[in-house]
């Protein structure tokens, strides 16, 4: 794959992250793609650890809408975060 034609793409139906060629219309190629969801998540965690980050706030698409990712290796914090995300508190 030529790098200038390759993009990270999140599939709308499956939710998988692909490394794929994208045509001029912005459509992902079905013949030249590879699922790399696990590798992307692993790289993000490794990046957070290497840079001393416990949280990262992103503004997707240049919007003002804030999205935050958190990392913890503490089992108790993990339980609390899961409870908050599942509205159990």
Which long-range contacts does 32-36 make (Cβ < 8 Å, 24+ apart)?
32/1, 33/9, 36/8
- 35 and 71 inside one domain: no
Question: What's the total number of domains in the chain?
Answer: 2
**Residue 19 confidence class, pLDDT cut points 50, 70, 90:** very high
**How far apart are alpha carbons 40 and 48 in whole angstroms?**
12
Task: Let me know if 36 is exposed, middle or buried by CB neighbors in 10 A (0-12, 13-18, 19+).
Answer: middle
Report, as an integer, the average pLDDT of 22-28: 79
As a whole number, the mean pLDDT across the chain is: 87
- 3 and 32 inside one domain: yes
Domain with 13 in it = 1-52
Report, as an integer, the average pLDDT of 54-73: 88
pLDDT in tens, 69-87: 999 999 999 999 999 999 8
pLDDT at 29 over 90: no
**How far apart are alpha carbons 36 and 14 in whole angstroms?**
13
Q: Establish how many alpha carbons lie within 13 A of residue 79's alpha carbon, considering only the half-sphere containing its beta carbon.
A: 2
Report, as an integer, the average pLDDT of 12-35: 85
- 4 and 22 inside one domain: yes
């Amino acid at each position: 794959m030529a790098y200038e034609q390759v993009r990270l793409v999140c599939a709308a139906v499956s939710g998988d992250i692909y490394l794929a060629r994208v045509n001029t219309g912005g459509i992902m190629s079905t013949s030249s793609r590879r699922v790399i969801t696990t590798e992307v998540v692993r790289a993000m965690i490794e990046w957070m650890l290497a840079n001393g980050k416990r949280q990262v706030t992103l503004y997707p698409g240049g919007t003002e809408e804030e999205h935050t990712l958190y990392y913890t290796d503490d089992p108790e914090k993990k339980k609390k975060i899961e409870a908050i995300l599942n509205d159990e508190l």
